[in-house]
Structure formats: structure tokens, C-alpha cells
Structure 1
Amino acid sequence: MLLDEASEVLEMFKHSFPLSMLFFVPLLIIISPASPVSAAHDFAVYRMQQYDLHGSAYGCRNALVNVEARPLDTTSFTRRCLVTKLMEFTTEKYKELITQNAGGVLILLPDNLTSLKPEEKEHVMELEQELLQEESHLPVYFTPETDELLELYHGLKHSINSDQAGSATQALMKSAGANGFQLIVNGPQSKAMPDFQVVNLQGKLSGYGIEEQLPTVAIVAHYDAFGIAPSLSFGSDSNGSGVVALLEMARLFSKLYTSSRTHAKYNMLFLLSGAGKYNYQGTRRWIEDQLDSSENSLLSDVSYVLCVDAIGNGDSLYLHVSKPPKPGSAGHTFYENLVEVASELSPGTTVAQVHKKINLAEDYLSWEHERFSMRRLPAFTLSHLESQRYMARNTILDTRDNVDTKVLTKNVQLITEALARQIFNLNNSGTPQVFVEGLRVESQVVESWMDYLGSTPRSAQLLDKNSAVVNTLEHGLSRYLKDVQRHVFRSDKRDPEFVFYNGATYQMSAYSVKPAVFDLFLALGISSYLAIVFLVAQIMPRHHMFGYEERLSHEGN
């Protein structure tokens, strides 16, 4: 009976070849060990910077990817996406990818960037600078390492590379047996944001007396950050520490200015400027609005402008100046007070002055105070960095762990004490400390602000007028200062000084795929299998019939 039923099934396939396809092909898919669901993986990726500055284009000009992944040691990257770890990637490889017309780059970032060795950090910062030297149409993405991505990475590394086969036959066989991944980034192409609005936040403390007749001290810090990828740019030291210092100084001096006994005859102006990492565009526009205004300018009687940038580490404070302040001037007095305060309160802290003239031939200004110096306003920048050439000012390595809260608290204490001695005219040796007990710099407040700023990406193109960072900083200033205002501006449409682009974060999908030659082999295998089944269906009924006739003849005899 079983043989008869098998014969009927084979007879069915014999007269209906398409039916056999519908039966066996789904059966092969069902018993296949690969799962289409487990073969796909989605993860967030962060695109390299893209911006225009003074008519020059920089960074990645393309965002879409739909190509096959390849490891670093592949010989050909044409229309392929390189998957590599951060420390393996070099500028030479980047130039090679551009030459070969590669389809993209996916760079895996280590879990803890601060754990890198000094030489590794140097490599990363140099790589960031080189990649942003000019524009490129090669999509470059960054993403933190995960178990799934490391599995993908190692799978590519250990897969058989058909490009290195000794013959065409070997290449064909290796290609058929290799496992690959298709990387896809869908969505709209990045576009310029011509109406992007940059925000400057301004607040002040009015001195005792007729405000217009009093000298002014301005405290300035830019609040944005910069790195190879906007979504990874936290800028904790440069310039999160400067923002925290300005906010803490505003808090402390506001307490002094609320009492008539400690109300100084100085106006204090506080400015948080936007787009500082893009040649201090926010500061430039704010100065122009102030000096070119027909109304009374806040800078009309400014004693000096103190810019704060990167003071969250180190045991030194450097006063960077474009023109050394003359003895007896307000700027020189502040410097002397700072040296004296440091020697009294923190003998281990060195205070020095660094003189560097403004080079108008360079595309970028070195420090924020140079924007004021170009308009003949006395200004200088305080930083723990001795030179403007430190790459640590513009890198994704500038994370929260890069700021020492104790050092930052100490530096803010020194700066506020030096300012207080000047505006209250306490220049005698042995002057008692002003900010003590309830007026002391609060380390908990400093740490709280640093935790917030160090966990929020603050690249300028992410900080429009409605961003949470701008709103939070404005609220922070409003708690201590009066007449806090927003100064919002756009780039000139006819001759734009800067242009930002959207598309900083995308979703990338990785699909496990086989090469096209594998489909060919699979089709040949299925065809051969079905042909064998068809032949068996043709032959087997005849043998069964012959056996049945023989049994009948034996029974008749």
C-alpha cells in the first residue's frame, strides 16, 4: 500500500512540474537554518560633519549608503562600505577609499574613549583634523561598538576574501561560500539649512550708580562644541567648563549685587555666544550689533572682556592676549590680581601670560578674545591650554571624564576672587578672601552643570533657537541676572558666512546576504534536484508495474 501511495505522489509530480516547485522550494526554505529575522540588525549611526564656512565646503557631502560591507584588508573597495575600528583607520586609507570610489565607511568607536592611550588619542585627533580638511562625497559614519556590531566586524574579518584568490575558479568558489552584509542607510539626503538661527544669550548686573556712567567688565564664553561628528561632540572642557564658570560667576556676583553694602560701581555683562567653533560667528555678530547700534552700546565703556575657554583641567592658567595690557590698565590689574590670588589660595597653580598677535591671513581665529581685539576692545582669554594649537579643543575625545570637577571649581574660585578684588578696589596685599562660606563656589553646582553639558551633544547645527540646551542656559542665566535677552541671527543669504546641514544621525540596517554567484549555484542545485525527482517520477512507476505483472503471472500459474 505504501508503495502504491508513493507511486501516486510521484505520478502527480510527473504530470505537474510547477506543482513540484511549489512543494519543494518552500520545504527547502523551511528547513534552512538561516532566519531572515535574525539576519537583519538596525542601529544608530552618526554622520561626519558637513558645513560651509566663508565659502569653503568641509566634511561629508553624501549621506545615503546601499552597498556590501568589506573589512579593512580588502584590496578593492569600489562600491563597497568599509567596516573598521577607530584605531585601525588612517588618513591614507581614507584617501585610498576616495580614489577607489568606495560606497561608504562605518567606523566603530570603543566604549570608553577616555581609556585610550596618549598616542592613540593623538592618532584620533589627527584623524579628525585630516578628514575635515576639505569636502568629500564619501559617506562616513561613526557608531559605538556593540556585541552585534563586533560580531559583524569579526565575521567580515574572518570571511573568505575572494579578492585574494589565486585563480578565477578559486575566486568563484570562495565567493559562493562567503557570508556578507549589505549596509543600508535610507532616508532623505542631507540638505542645507539656510534659515538656521544662531542664538546669543546676554545678561547683566547693573552697578551702583548711574549705569551709563559706570565701567563695564564683560565675561564671555561660547557654548557650542565641535568634533568629527556633530552628534558625538560634547565639548566638556572646551567649552563646557567655560560655560559653567560663567554661570557660577553670575550666581556669585548676583548675590553681592543684591545688597547695597556689596553693590560695586561696575556693570557686569555676561555673554554666552553661539557658533563659537565656527570662527566665533556669534561673537562677531554680537559685537557688530553692539558697536554699530545707534543706541547706547554695552561696550561703549568696557574696561576689558574676559573670555573663558577650557579651564577644567591642569595646574596652570594662561592669559592669552593679542596685545599685552599696559601697566596700570584694568586688564593688567586683573592679571596681577589673578597671580596674587593663585599664590595665596592655590600655590600649586601657575598663572602666566601668553602673547600672540592676530594673523589676519589665517582662516580661523585662535581665541574668542581676538574678535574683540580686532575692534580695538581690550580683551583676553583664560585657559589651561598654553597654545591655541592643542587639538583637544575640537575633538570627540573631549568627554565628561576629561574635566576634573575639583580643578574646575578651584579655577572658578580663583577667577571670581580676582574679579572681586578689582571691581571692589581691593588691591592691597593681604586682602581677605571675598567669596567664603555661603559665597564660595559650590562644587555640587559645578558638577551638576558639567554632568548636563557633558552628556548633551552641542555642535552648533544641533542648537537652534528651540533646542533644549539653549532654553536651559537661558533659564540658568535668568535665575541670577536681570534683563536676559536673546540675540538671534542668520547667515547672510547673499554671501553666507556659514551654512549648516541637517542629517547628523541616521538609522543603518545591516542585512546578512549571499553574493549573486551563490544564487546561481543555488538555482543550479534546485534545478538538478527537481530534475532528479522528475526522472524518478518517470522511471519508478514502470518498475512498479513490471513487478505487479510478475506477481499476477505467478499467481495465475
Structure 2
Amino acid sequence: MFEEASEVFDNMFKSSFPLTFIVFIPAVLILVSPLPAEAAHEFTVYRMQQYDLQGQPYGTRNAILNTEARTVEAEVLSRRCVIMRLADFSYDKYQKALRQSAGAVVIILPKNMSAMPQDIVQQFMELEPEMLATETIIPVYFAIEDDELLSIYTQTLTSSSSQGSLSAAEVLLHTATANGFQMVTSGAQSKAVSDWAITSVEGRLAGVGGEELPTIVVVAHYDSFGVAPWLSYGADSNGSGVSMLLELSRLFSKLYTYKRTHAAYNLLFFVSGGGKFNYQGTKRWLEDNLDHTGIFLLKSFWLVLDFLSHPNEALRLSGLYQCAISSLQVVGSQYPEVKFSMVHKKINLADDMLAWEHERFGIRRLPAFTLSHLPSHRSAQRSSIMDVRSVKLSRNTKVVAEALARVIYNLTEKGAPGDLQIFTEQMQVQEEHLSAVVEWLTAQPRAAQLVDKDSSFVSTLEYHMGRYLKDVKRHYVKADKRDPEFVFYDQLKQTMNAYRVKPAIFDLLLAVCIAAYLGMMYLAIQNFGLLYSVVRRVTQPKAKVH
């Protein structure tokens, strides 16, 4: 019976070659074909800055990513997505990826950046300006570390590191069989945002005597800055300045409520936008007011607040207004730990970026100075995504409030500072209020590209100022369409998928194996009778010899 069946199958496959493929190919493909690529992980990525300032491009120029992942340890990075952790990041590694024409760079940040070792934080803060100094063609992204993303990095690192120690044959086999990750972004290519409006907010406290009174203007820019807009929280620069300004507005609004303490000074509180982009909000506000109220400006002086939270560092003044400086020094003398120093810097009109916000007023020959604890305007702390640490402002806020009160009430030369404290008891600085404002400011990124005129941040800021000040209103700045001072771009936050895939050479190797298998099966079927007879002879028991 078995011999008859073998003859039937032999005749069937010999007479109908297509039937061979119909029967065997589907079975082979089902058994040996790889599983389709599946999404290993989906996570949010934040793109590096992309903007133009005074016609000069900065940051990354691309936002599309669809390439295989590698770590910087791999020998070949061309057209690969290079992923690296912040703890292992260095400018040399970053430049290596750029030199080898990598397809993209993804930098993995820790969940809690404030807990990072200070040396790593300082190193990265110093590298951020270098990364933004010139335009970068490839897309550069930042991602927050989680367990799955860390696993992807670890697997990719193992694959990338092992290739350098293997022979050529082993590398070929490893390349063909190893699992890889295809990194793909879901967004489109970035494009310029048209008609973007930078918003500033001002509010006033009118003194006794009308608009012709001298005016003190307290200024702080609210926008933050860092290598990635969506990660720029600006706790100290300039969350501390805005928080102090709002507390000062609360304190002096109480003084101006009573006739006995209603001073013959107008107070104007100005929270400017575009501070990190050459102080565009302040520039436009000055241009508008010089055309209409030049006399008011000439009778004013400006106090700019920027980076003020560190309680253990000296307060430095850049600019010049002797009366206010003397008052700060007198008040500060009652705090042994508070030291004041002057920072002298000439305004260089040839620079694309002004160093301090008060220089916008200095160009107009208006008296102004900046109060900050930074020793230099070049400090990397002013523009970093690492500016997320908690800030303490109560002592410095009290010093500034007492000094302004001495100027307003002409108390600079009268009495010891301890005998003339104004903000005590019910009028004292509220540390809880300051902390709540700082927490609100640092709960959201405030990069200028993210804060439009309809944002909840601007509305909340306007409401907060309206509680204590009068004539609260907004000012808008839009770039000139013919010769724009600034240009912002979209696609700063995207979703990235890491797909687990086999390399392209695996498909070639699999095709060769399938072809070899089918060839062997075809030969076996075509010679089924011969094969059967050979097998039968081999398996048939030998006859016993008597």
C-alpha cells in the first residue's frame, strides 16, 4: 500500500510543478517568516530650539526622524539615530554624531533633573550655548527617561559596543540576527509660525500729584530659555524676577491705599515678553512710549529684576542710578550675609544680543540698572533647561522692597535701617505667597515660542497683576514681515515610536534560506521514487546468513 501511495505522490509532483509551490510555499512562509514589526515603545520627545534672530538661524533645522537607532559607541553612525544618556553626554560625542552625518540625535534626560550631580548639571549648562551657537541640519531631540526607553538604550548600547570586538564573519552574523529599533516621529516637517505675538503686561500705582510725578519702573521678563523650549522652566531666570515683582506690587499697593503712605511717585510694574530674544517686548514698549510720553520717561528710572534667588551669593548691580544703589546698600547693611557689588559693562551696539535688559533703556540714555546675583551676563545658568531647582526669595525681596521705599519716601539719608523698617508685621513679605507664585511659574514651560496672546499663562498673570494694580493692559510685539527681527518654528513637541525590527540584511539571509529549502524540497519531490528506494534500503533489516 505504501509503495502505491509513493508512486501517486511522485507522479503528482512530477506532472504538476506549480502544485509543488501551491502546497509547500504557504507552509514554508507561515513557519519561517518573521513577525511583523511591532511598536516597542511610544514616548514624547522635545525638539531642540529652532529660531531666527536678526536674520541668523539657530538650532536644529529638521523635525522628521525615521531611522535605525545606534549609540555613539558604534563605529558607523551615518544615517542612524544616535541615542545617548545625559550622564554620558559630552560635546565630543555630540560632534562625532554630527561629523559622521548621523540621521538624528536623541538625548535621554533623567526624570528628576534637580537630583542630578552638580558637576554633570554644570557641564551640560555650559554645553547648551555651544549646541545652539550654529544651525544643525539633523533633528535633535530630548526625551525623559522611563523603564522602557532605558531598556531600548541598553539593548542598543550592547549591540553597538559588541561589534567592535568581533571578527568580520561574527559582525555579519550578529548584524543579521540582532534585534534593532527603528525610531520614527509622528509629526511633520517644521515650518515658520506666522504672525506670532509676544505679549507683555503692565500695571500702575498712581502717586499723589498726577502723571507729571517721577516714576519708578520695576521690570522683569517672564519667558524662560533653554536648549529645548518645552523643557525650559526657568525657576531662577526669570521666575525669581517675576515672583519678586508681583510681591513688590502687592506690598506697595497696600502702602498706596492709605493717604499717610501714598507717596509722590508713580510706580509702574512691567512684565515683559521676549526677554530671551534680545528683549523684544521692552524694545517695542520703549518705542511706543517715547513717541507719546517722552517727558514721563525722562523723569523715571528702571529697576530690572533677573536671577535673584540664591541667598548665599552677593547681589550685583549692573547699570547706574546712584540714589537707588545707595538705598540698597543702606538696607543691605542690616543683613551681614548680604553683600553688594557693582558690575560695570559698556553697551556694545554691534552685538546681536544685549547682555542685560536695562541696556535697552541705557541705549535711550535713560537711568536703569539690573539687580542680579550673577557675576557675569555670560553665565550659563541664565539659559538652561537645568534651571529647575527651588528658589528662596523672601530675604532678597525684603531688601529690595525696603530700598525702594527709602527712595520713594526720601529716607535714604535718614536713620539707621533697623529703625526705619517699613515692611513689618502685617506689611511684611509673605514667604508662602512667594513660594506659591514660584511654583505656579515653574509648573509650565515659558519659552517665548509657547506663550501666545491667548495662553492661560498670560491671562493668569494679567489677573494676578489686576488684583493689586490699576490700568493693567497688554502690549503685543509682532515681527516685521519684510525684515523680521525674530522667527519662531513649530513641531517643538512630538510623539516618537521605537519599533522593534530586524535589519535589512536579515531579509536577504532569510530569502536565501527559503530558496535553499525550496530547492531541496523540489529535488526531493522530483526524485521521490529514487529517494524512497534509498531510504527503504537503508532502513530495511539485513537478512541473516546461516
Fold shared by both chains (TM-score > 0.5): yes
Determine the structure 2 residue equivalent to 1:381.
Answer: 370
Structure 2 counterpart of 1:492, one-letter code:
D
Aligned match of 2:349: 360
What whole-Å deviation, never above 9, does each CA across 1:366-420 have from its counterpart, x for those lacking one?
A: 1111111110110001111122121101111100x2x333xx1111111111111
Could you list the runs of 5+ residues in structure 2 that have no partner in the other structure? Answer: 537-546
CA contact (8 A) 2:236 2:391 kept: no
Quote the residue 1:139 is aligned against: 139
For the residue of structure 1 that corresponds to 2:203, the secondary structure is strand
2:302 is aligned to 305
1:453 aligns with 2:441: yes
Question: Which residue does 1:49 correspond to in 2?
Answer: 49
CA distance in 2, matches of 1:525, 1:217: 83
Give the counterpart letter for 1:245 in structure 2: M
Structure 1 position 348, deviation (Å): 1.5
Whole-angstrom CA distance in 1 between matches of 2:100 and 2:258: 69
* Aligned amino acid, residue 399 of structure 2: L
The residue type equivalent to 1:301 in the other structure is K
State the Cα deviation string for residues 455-503 of structure 1 (Å, max 9, x = none).
2111111111111211111111111111101111211122211111111
Deviates more, 1:128-137 or 1:170-179: 170-179
Q: 2:274 is aligned with what amino acid?
A: A
Contact kept, 8 Å, 2:317 with 2:340, in 1: the verdict is no
Residues 429-508 of structure 1 aligned to structure 2 (within 5 Å): 429-430=415-416, 431-508=419-496
- The answer as to 2:307 corresponding to 1:321 is no
Tell me if the contact between 1:250 and 1:270 (Cα under 8 Å) persists in the aligned partners.
yes
Q: Which residue of 2 aligns with 1:511?
A: 499
Measured against aligned partners, the alpha-carbon deviations of 1:168-213 in whole angstroms (never above 9, x if no partner) come to: 544422211222111112322111123111111111000012x222
Residue 227 of structure 1 corresponds to: 226
2:123 and 2:432 map into 1 onto residues whose CA distance is 34
SS of the aligned residue for 2:236 comes to helix
Say if 1:162 and 1:175, in contact at 8 Å, map to a contact too: no
Cα distance in structure 2, aligned partners of 1:432 and 1:148: 60
Please state if 1:18 is matched with 2:48. Answer: no
> Within 2, Cα distance between the matches of 1:439 and 1:379?
27
Tell me if the contact between 2:72 and 2:97 (Cα under 8 Å) persists in the aligned partners: no
Contact 1:284–1:371 at 8 Å: present in 2 too? yes
Q: Which residue of 2 aligns with 1:404?
A: 391
Once residues 7 and 358 of structure 1 are traced to their aligned partners in structure 2, the CA distance between those partners, rounded to angstroms, is 101
CA distance in 1, matches of 2:6, 2:358: 91
Partner of 1:153 in structure 2?
Answer: 153
In structure 1, give the amino acid aligned to 2:356: W
CA–CA distance in structure 1, aligned partners of residues 296 and 113 of structure 2: 42
Query: Unmatched 5+ residue regions in structure 1?
Result: 325-330, 548-557
Report the Cα offset of residue 147 of structure 1.
Answer: 0.9
CA displacement at 1:116 relative to structure 2: 3.0
- The question of whether the paired residues in 2 share the 8 Å contact of 1:320 and 1:356 is answered with no
Which stretch has the larger CA shift, 427-436 or 312-321? 312-321
After superposition, the CA RMSD in angstroms is 2.8
Whole-Å Cα distance in 1 between the matches of residues 421 and 259 of structure 2? Answer: 19
**Do the aligned residues in 2 keep the contact of 1:161 with 1:174 (CA within 8 Å)?**
no
> Which residue, out of 351, 374, 380, partners 1:391?
380
CA distance in structure 1 between the aligned counterparts of 2:447 and 2:7, rounded to whole angstroms: 74
Structure 1 residue 527: Cα displacement: 3.3
Q: Identify if the C-alpha distance between structure 1 residues 335 and 513 changes in structure 2 by more than 3 Å, giving closer, same or farther.
A: same
> Against the structure 1 CA distance between its residues 434 and 225, is the aligned structure 2 distance closer, same or farther, given a 3 Å change threshold?
same
Are the equivalent residues in 2 in contact too, given 1:318–1:354 (CA < 8 A)? no
Partner residue, 1:40: 40
Q: Which position in structure 1 is the counterpart of 2:322? A: 332
Instruction: Judge which range, 409-418 or 221-230, deviates more.
Output: 409-418
Moved more, 1-10 or 125-134: 1-10
Count residues with an aligned counterpart. 529
Instruction: Give the aligned partner of residue 108 of structure 1.
Output: 108
Describe the shift of the 1:300–1:523 C-alpha distance in structure 2 as closer, same or farther (beyond 3 A): same
Deviation digits for residues 293-334 of structure 1 (CA, Å, limit 9, x no counterpart): 3x57652421x1000001111324434333x4xxxxxx3222
